[in-house]
Amino acid sequence: MDHFPLSMLLLVLLFYCTKTLAQTPAQAPAPAGPTNITKILEKAGQFTMFIRLLSITQVGDQINTQLNNSNQGLTVFVPTDNAISSLKSGILNSLSDQQKVALVQFHVLPTFLSMSQFQTASNPLRTQAGNDDNGQFPLNVTTSGNQVNVSTGVDDATVANTIYTDNQLAVYQVDKVLLPLSIFGSPAPVPAPSAVAKKKSPAADAPVSGSDDAPADASGTIGLAMHGMLMVVPLVAGVIATRWWR
């Protein structure tokens, strides 16, 4: 009997402890980490080569810094590994460091654009690579229904799907590498010689010999003169002889 109250007491204490723990609110989930373009692409897969370009050019760090330290949105077009592999062999390695940076920045718009906003966007779009006003980095979009096409002046790409969007960052998969005209465009053709440069020399402009306008041949003129002199000499000699005999 002495142990009964103690057992009951333990049961009561256990009951209240269990009830108190059950009423304790659950811990709130940890806040999401800062936006990281590399982690987004790693999770999506098939973008290993573009991730490498983001790293070696440090454009990936620039994107993350801008997203996490300002309210300015961004739009990123990301070509797949297959798209980059389809480029001409060695074309990326032939670029200077500055050109590689410009190539990656050409895939980044300094504003957030949803898929529906592409239909009302004004061309040309401004990219992180430079000002579109100087004509060096023109990027244009056209839409047909839900399809969005991107044109660089060198190639045309299609937006395949949305990789990520959070109303500040939009990441879209494209089926081709966006090649800037200022880096990959064909060199301007050499202009043809002007008409002035092609002008003939005066000798070339002279009329063909034998035509009505051709000047008399010099040898012919001398021959005629000699013939005339031979005709005149006997006549003069005769006149002098006649006067002498008189």
Span 122-171, pLDDT tens digits: 999 999 997 655 556 889 999 998 899 999 999 999 999 999 999 899 99
Mean pLDDT of 38-55: 96
Span 15-45, pLDDT tens digits: 555 544 444 444 334 346 789 999 999 999 9
Amino acid identity for residue 38 in this structure: T
In order, the DSSP letters of 2-34 are: THHHHHHHHHHHHHHHHHHHHHSPPPPPPPPPP
Alpha helix (H) residue ranges in the chain: 3-23, 37-44, 48-57, 59-69, 81-85, 97-105, 181-184, 202-205, 218-245
Span 158-196, pLDDT tens digits: 999 999 999 899 999 999 999 998 898 865 454 555 544
CA 123 to mean position of chain CA atoms? 15
pTM of the shown model: 0.64
Do 85 and 184 form a contact (C-beta atoms < 8 A)? Answer: no
Bigger pLDDT: 133 or 73?
A: 73
Q: How far apart are CA 135 and CA 109, in angstroms?
A: 16
Do 108 and 65 form a contact (C-beta atoms < 8 A)? Answer: no
Q: How far apart are CA 144 and CA 63, in angstroms?
A: 30
Mean pLDDT of 199-212: 47
Q: How far apart are CA 97 and CA 89, in angstroms?
A: 18
Q: Identify which of 81, 70, 74 has the alpha carbon closest to the alpha carbon of residue 42.
A: 81
Bigger pLDDT: 40 or 243?
A: 40
pLDDT at 206 over 50: no
Q: Supply the DSSP symbol for 86.
A: T
What pLDDT is recorded for position 245?
38
